[in-house]
A and B are shown apart, each in its own frame.
Chain A
Amino acid sequence: MASTFGGLSLASSALAAQRRAIDTIGQNVANINTDGYSRQRVDMASLNGGSTGIHTGTIQFGSGVDVAAQTRIVDTFIIERAGRERAAKGSADTQASAFRRIEAAFNEPGGNGLAAQLEGFWSAWDAVVDRPEDLGGRAALLQKASAVTDSFRQMHRQISVIAQESIQQASAHVDDINVVAKRVAELNGSIAASIDAGVTPNELLDERDRLVGRLSERLNVTTRTDDRGMMNISVGGNSLVNGVRSSSISLDTSTPGSAVLRLSATNTIVQPTAGSIPALLHVANTVVPDHLARLDQLALSLTSTVNTQHALGQDLAALPAGVGAFFSATGAADLSLDAGIKGRPDLVGAATLGAGRYDGSNAAAMAQLSGLAGGPDEIYRSMVAQLGIDAGSAYGRAELQDRIVAQVDNERMAVSGVSLDEEMTNLVAFQQAYQAAARFMTAVDEMLERLISGTGQVGR
């Protein structure tokens, strides 16, 4: 025995260690549903009590137990992988939602899409064939034509809006990133201070991991933790957080159609490859302009096809100079009836130039254009089919990435998640150890009691 009262201090170290373990279980159970919480464990080590003493000779006695560390159980590789997969999920989700909206703008297949409007337009020409002299039929044709141009303009508007909103959303995400980066830098300071003081700041580490997870959803980052526990974060080779300093990123939308991220301090272009922000920029810079360009191409094809045929026609007045244009457009946004023909059904070139006034052969030829190989209807059909393929694969990617993230989350939880069964088992073990240590203390106490108050009373 190291000292007379050594037993008491041994018992007290045991009580303290078991209490600490039980408190840790309490903390784990309390945080079982906390997002990003990593379970903690108390690492105990037996205390060596030294070996010198009058009665002990060279035999060593332990002098109790010590809590060597309270560790957070995490697998940093899984956390890094989760970050990468989250970034990919951010991209996939963003693209999928953009495609969902583009699909909604097309409103196909069905009776309300552009295909149906075009059918109505062509068949209105056929009605004019039946009665070229009837101004009502001609007016109905102009009205169907206006419905087609309205559809074009509406689709153009609905799709353009997606780009604008993507930019707004990206800008909100950039603001969020700057806040998070700043917070990570602050946490780096606190964590380094704690580690320098010899304390493991488990909760701060958890929070930092959670924040980095949030960053990863927005853009893919690479992280490196230095020997003081500070995490340095970089995006596309540019430092975002370096120790306790963070840089801020801004969204540069000065060139329409090519919005980029820049480091605010140096104006360097930052190019993350995955995450919701690059995906939003991709939607605004590429996906939407592509679809608008296809729509423009379709509008121009319709305009030139109809105008070419219309130019062969002659209006009701049978002027030898023929007729003017039918549509005018520089793109889908401004496709409209030509100003000359608007409100003037008599100017529709239903007759072939030089034929009788009530001839309808040019209108008949016009109606036949609905089946023109490579004509507007065919262009539109292949455009919608291409959209279907693109959208389908975007949804597929989003679903797959969803599953991958769930899988990685599961792996993280398998390592770091709290299991109630495990905690309860440990609770029973530590509780019993605590009770036993208390019993031991009582025993030591009784022994000392006997020694102190019983010594010298022999024979009384």
Chain B
Amino acid sequence: MTRITQQMLGRSTLSNLQQSLSRTEKLQEQLSTGRALNRPSDSPTGLITAMQTRSSLASTRTQMRAADNAQGWLDSADSALQSAASMVGRVRDLVVQGANASVGPTGRENIAREIESIRDGLIDVANSSFGGRPIFGGTSDSPRAYDATGAFLGDGGAVTRTVADGVMLPVNVTGPEAFGPAGSSLFDLLTTIAADMRTDPTNVATNNLTDLDAGRDRLLASLGEIGARSNRLTSITERATSLELNLTQRLSEAESVDLPETIMELQMQEVAYQAALSATSRVIQPSLLDFLR
């Protein structure tokens, strides 16, 4: 039979109490930090999940921010192209009106002036900017896409935003794409129309109207392209929002404590600790000394 000595009792009691306290300490750390994963060794596999989720979450948030920015570009382009299209519509009305023989030279002069002012307005629209960047200027550093004469100052570079993993969405159309190539751009056309209106009214009704319609079709095509991208972006954003929610949940599952469970464990631990204490007070006290006279 193993002899049991007072010192053995003392030591084992102490080490049991110590173990109980150290479990309590662990639970308290989890509760007070709110995290079940406090260092890599707490759960190496959970750690990988947590870190991966964290990194996906960060990139999803970055992409959502990029999507906001992309939406801004697309919206600006959309409204610019809409007003450009309505301006061109107005010009078409004026051209049809001016082609009418009943309009005298004075009337055509007025129409020519209005067309010239619409041309200036169209250049302003083509110089619309978003966040300080001319939206039809491509990737150039020019502060404006077109100068006052209607010459293109930008470049053909695509402005893209990474709105989802591997999805680089172009958010701009360049000036030439929307307003026509240099030399036969809408601005040049309007200058020609205004000039023809004054000098060669017959040409206005035939050739210029065809060119104008082609220019308007080009505008509408760009508008459609922007609209399609905008739709695509909306669905991507919706997906990203639900992904973010999902990832947040997964991260919390991987890292955070299950409050009710941890609190219950802590209480069980407290009970165990108290039981150990009361057992200790009973076991350690008496020895034969208490009973010898």
Contact = CB atoms under 8 A, between A and B. Distances in A.
B62 interface: yes
B39 interface: yes
Nearest to A115: B51
Given A109-B50, A119-B54, A370 B59 contact: yes
Interface in B57-115: 58-59, 61-63, 65-66, 69
Contacts of B40: 103, 106, 108-109, 384-385, 387-388, 391
Contact of B52 (A33, A381, A410): A381
A99 B47 contact: no
B132 A133 contact: yes
A150 B134 CA distance: 38
Q: A32, A355, A428: which has the most chain B beta carbons within 10 Å? A: A355
B211 interface: no
A417 B131 CA distance: 83
A126 B47 contact: no
Contact of B41 (A99, A355, A356, A422): A99
Contacts of A381: 48, 51-52, 55
Given A108-B47, A356-B155, A384-B40, A115 B55 contact: yes
Interface in B151-189: 154-155, 157-162, 165-166, 168
A414 interface: yes
Given A108-B51, A406-B11, A424-B287, A123 B159 contact: no
B282 interface: no
Contacts of B288: 420-421, 424-425
Contacts of B133: 131, 133, 358
Nearest to A409: B11
A358 B138 CA distance: 8
Contacts of A340: none
Nearest to A103: B39
Contact of B58 (A119, A361, A382, A395): A119
A406 B51 CA distance: 38
B141 interface: yes
B248 interface: no
Contacts of A367: 62, 162
B3 A351 contact: no
Contacts of A132: 139
Contacts of B289: 420, 424
A327 interface: no
B116 interface: no
Given A417-B5, A424-B287, A123 B162 contact: no
A386 to B, nearest CB: 8
Interface residues of B, number: 57
Contacts of A384: 40, 47, 51
Contact of B54 (A115, A359, A425): A115
Interface in B1-60: 2-8, 11-12, 15, 35, 37, 39-45, 47-48, 50-52, 54-55, 58-59
Q: B6, B12, B35, B255: which has the most chain A beta carbons within 10 Å? A: B6
Contacts of A316: 141
Contact of B131 (A131, A382, A385): A131
Nearest to B8: A413
Nearest to A357: B141
B225 to A, nearest CB: 19
A392 B160 contact: no
B11 A351 contact: no
B55 A419 contact: no
A371 B59 contact: yes
B139 A410 contact: no
A146 B288 CA distance: 71
Interface in A56-110: 99, 103-104, 106, 108-110
Given A109-B54, A126-B62, A385 B6 contact: no
Interface of A: 32-33, 99, 103-104, 106, 108-110, 115-116, 119, 122-123, 126, 129-133, 316, 351, 355-361, 364, 367-368, 370-371, 377, 381-382, 384-389, 391-392, 395, 406, 409-410, 413-415, 417-422, 424-425, 428
Shortest beta-carbon contacts, A-B, top 4: A356-B139, A388-B40, A388-B44, A417-B5
Interface of B: 2-8, 11-12, 15, 35, 37, 39-45, 47-48, 50-52, 54-55, 58-59, 61-63, 65-66, 69, 131-133, 138-141, 154-155, 157-162, 165-166, 168, 255, 287-289, 292
Given A130-B161, A368-B166, A419-B6, 17 more contacts: A109-B37, A109-B40, A110-B35, A126-B63, A130-B66, A133-B133, A355-B157, A356-B141, A364-B162, A367-B162, A384-B47, A386-B44, A388-B39, A391-B39, A406-B15, A414-B3, A420-B6
11 contacts: A108-B47, A115-B51, A115-B54, A126-B66, A356-B138, A364-B162, A370-B58, A381-B51, A392-B41, A406-B11, A418-B7
